[in-house]
Amino acid sequence: MLQLFNTLGRRLETFQPVNKNPVSVFTCGPSVYQRAHIGNFRTFLFEDILVRYLEYSGYRVARGMNFTDVEDKAIKEAAARNVDIQVLTQHNIESFICEMELLRIRIPEFLPRASEAVDRAVDIIEQLLDRGIAYWHKGNVYFDPLKYPGFGELYGLDMNSWPRAKRRFHRDTYPGMRWNRGDFILWHGSRGGSEISWETKIGRGRPSWNIQDPSMITKYFNETLSVYCGGYDNLIRHHDYSRAIIESIRPYPMAEYWLHCHHLHVHGEKMSKSKGNVYYTDTLLDRGYGIDEIRFFLIYGHYRENLNYSDRAMNRAAEKLRAVKGITRAHEAASNGKPDIDEGMYHKTRLLFSCKMDQDLDVRGAFDELHGFLTGPEAQQGTPRASAGILKALREIHEVLQVLF
């Protein structure tokens, strides 16, 4: 049975979805103030593998992913470029979807934008105000984490060290990986001028980043999500905020399983513009790698481990994939297009894959098991029927990995 590492509780758990038809999955989408790099796409590819493997395992999945198109960074970037924020974010959303398709990431069923869920954000804020969990201060609305029992459980915060003196944090996001120990903003009240804002029931303003995900999730899913995903960075000042907001207005958990993908480094360092080591999909395409190889490199390392890009590591992954694709072509030729298959070889190939994938989506282990089997004597010296059985299983596995054919 499939086991997943639940960030909430820090343990492997047997996957038991809230509903099997469909399994609800929501993934934290991109902030579209800039182009997504391969580190961002590593997370989105991990989520794609999750959804595809759930379907391979017999589930139907309903998936949502949000676009953060209104926030401090987008406003600042649009001003710096002297363009309308909608022009900036629309361009980046279109480019992002094109790159998703290029990397064979399935487009989610729901793709809400923060700018389209302002009224829903206001509804949530009104509920939080009525319950005394949120409050007005100098035209803004803030959330008091001390009013939500269990705040910080996802990250593992020690709330005994939370300051009792009132502190407020006004920005959507802050640099670095430290916690802001105080109240976080829900609503930026308008102060006039040309700032981005909406006229609403609670006045003119705009929703903060941390109210946006709850507003978009609750628009489409009215039950506990089976799975909520995001990058590891989202454990700092984000997912605990979202959880606290939603669970303060609903009498049931936000999500049953929380999954977080770790970082991608380049030559041992975090990607940053100042270091000049931000890599995009076309950076690797320009170096002669194919889309199959790029996708494979980004999914091959386990999602709960940091992955390091180097030319050597990329070459090794590409060579391994080429070897397996070559064996796959050999089985295509050996099968002679036979409609009948060796059922034993078919089920053995599938079992080798699923035994590792069921262990918290161990793509590396699953792929290496397949590689070892396909290069071994049993698979190499089989009959056309055996090759046909292996080939059928590999085509089904390809629906998950998207790199074999």
pLDDT at res. 337: 77
Sorting pLDDT into bands at 50, 70 and 90, what band is 272? confident
Closest-CA residue to 231 (of 51, 30, 43, 96): 43
pLDDT, one tens digit per residue, over 14-35 is: 999 999 989 999 999 999 999 9
For the chain, give percent helix, strand, coil, nearest 5: 45, 20, 35
pLDDT at res. 133: 98
pTM: 0.96
pLDDT, one tens digit per residue, over 66-86 is: 999 999 999 999 999 999 999
How do strand 264-266 and strand 307-309 relate by DSSP bridges? parallel
Give the three-state DSSP class for 48: helix
Query: Has residue 304 got a pLDDT over 90?
Result: yes
Mean pLDDT of the chain: 96
CB contact set of 356 (below 8 Å; sequence gap of 6+):
362, 365, 366, 369
pLDDT at res. 191: 86
Query: Are the C-beta atoms of 400 and 299 separated by less than 8 Å?
Result: no
C-alpha triplet 260, 262, 264: angle, nearest 5°: 145
Sorting pLDDT into bands at 50, 70 and 90, what band is 336? confident
Provide mean pLDDT across the span 134-140: 98
Q: Which domains does the chain have, with CATH numbers?
A: 3-261 (3.40.50.620), 269-401 (1.10.730.10)
